[in-house]
Amino acid sequence: MTTCLVLAPQGAEYQTVRRGLQHANGVVIPIRAGAAAVTTPALMSALEESPAMVLILGVCGGLRPDDRVGEVVVYTTCQDEAGQVYSLDQTLSAKLAPAWRRVKGITTAKTLSQVQEKQALATRWGVEVVDMEGVPLLKALAGIPVVMVRVISDGGDRDLPDLSQAFDSQGNLRPWPLAIAMLRNPRGAAHLIQGSLKALKVLEEIAPEIVQQLSG
């Protein structure tokens, strides 16, 4: 039985988590972006080993104007855009640093780039952060204790490049559509890059701390 299975979106988030956990116990698996996360072959194989718990790590978007880039958040619930709510394991989450903000998250099918979109979601559902993998993973991991910790990489106070075409149906990044989106909004691109770098630095620092806390 695997003690702790750690999942992180493929690419920069996975590489960051791997660096942070290079001396820690646990298996780290890169998952595809978005709903395709659950079709990642390595994840499907790992679930056959009946992990005792699953830890989802990554970055997320803040939905409020005063959200702080680099802030660590611990999910209490995550819902889809239809309002279906899924709960995270509160017993395990209680082991994590109390200073980290507990939040309600929402998973969207596409990236959000406009301030108006973000704040509309927050107002309608009372949610605080947004991601693209949470709900599909929670559905696939039903029956297994799951903890999800993310770092805010952008707040709800400014527009970002429209990355809706930057991922294919399998959750893989498409370089050319990404480059075009960044060029169309250079100011937003700069904000996105700076926020991502800051969030990833925090993610690398806290990853071993989280695994240690959950194992204690």
Contact indicator for 61, 130 with CB cutoff of 8 Å: yes
* CATH no., domain 5-215: 3.40.50.1580
Question: pTM of the predicted model, to two decimals?
Answer: 0.91
Residues 6+ apart with CB under 8 A from 41: none
Condensed to tens digits (0 to 9), the pLDDT of residues 10-66 reads: 999 999 999 999 866 668 999 998 888 998 999 999 998 889 999 999 999 999 988
pLDDT digits 0-9 by tens, 111-124: 888 899 999 999 99
* Residues 33, 208: Cα–Cα separation, whole Å: 23
Q: How far apart are CA 34 and CA 66, in angstroms?
A: 26
Domain boundaries, the chain: 5-215
